[in-house]
Amino acid sequence: MSLLSIIRRTIKFLSIILIVIPIFSLDISVVSAQLPFGGQIQSIFFCTNGWNVVVGPPVGGSYFYQPGLSYSYEYGPPVATQQWLLGLWGAAMVCLVPCPTGTCPDPTHSGLLILFHGSSLPGASAPGSLEQGGTDSPADVPNNPGLETVV
């Protein structure tokens, strides 16, 4: 085996290593969609693993706040209807609720994971109006089977 052949094989091997290692070392949680959302909270439903937040226009939808995964800026997590949110969302999340066998998925209250968000104070006035926002606290939101487990 000649020296030139050994050098070619070594270069080929190192090239493959330099291509393959970065591909398999990517953190999948970081490489997710990060799209904006924002609007006034229309409803909140508490689950055992977080809470489902339905946001109205201008960029509304069903979103999911999960403590430990979702990052909240100055005024904390979403806690009341009429509160305003603005942030980025990532992967889809499933709401888990108590059931006779332990916890069960509730697809009707699942949503897109809130990666991070800023919010208004609960009960803050809507922009451009003198009307006060809602004053619902998490304990006042009806139909919350998982409320006791959210801490």
Which is more confident, 82 or 18?
82
* pLDDT for residue 33: 60
Query: Coil, strand, or helix at residue 21?
Result: helix
* pLDDT for residue 43: 92
Q: What are the structural domains, with CATH classification, of the chain?
A: 35-123+133-149 (2.40.50)
Which is more confident, 28 or 74?
74
Closest CA to 94 of 49, 45, 53: 49
Q: Indicate yes or no: pTM above 0.85.
A: no
For 14-52, the pLDDT digits (tens) are 777 666 565 555 444 444 567 889 999 999 999 998 989
Contacts of 82 (CB under 8 A, 6+ apart): 40, 41, 122, 123, 124, 126, 133, 134, 136
pLDDT band at 149 (very low <50, low <70, confident <90, very high): very low
* pLDDT for residue 91: 85
User: CA–CA separation, 93 vs 76, rounded Å?
Assistant: 20
Mean pLDDT of the 71-99 span:
88
* pLDDT for residue 151: 35
For 92-148, the pLDDT digits (tens) are 888 889 989 888 888 888 889 999 899 888 766 555 443 433 334 444 444 444 433
User: CA–CA separation, 1 vs 131, rounded Å?
Assistant: 85
Mean pLDDT of the 67-96 span:
88
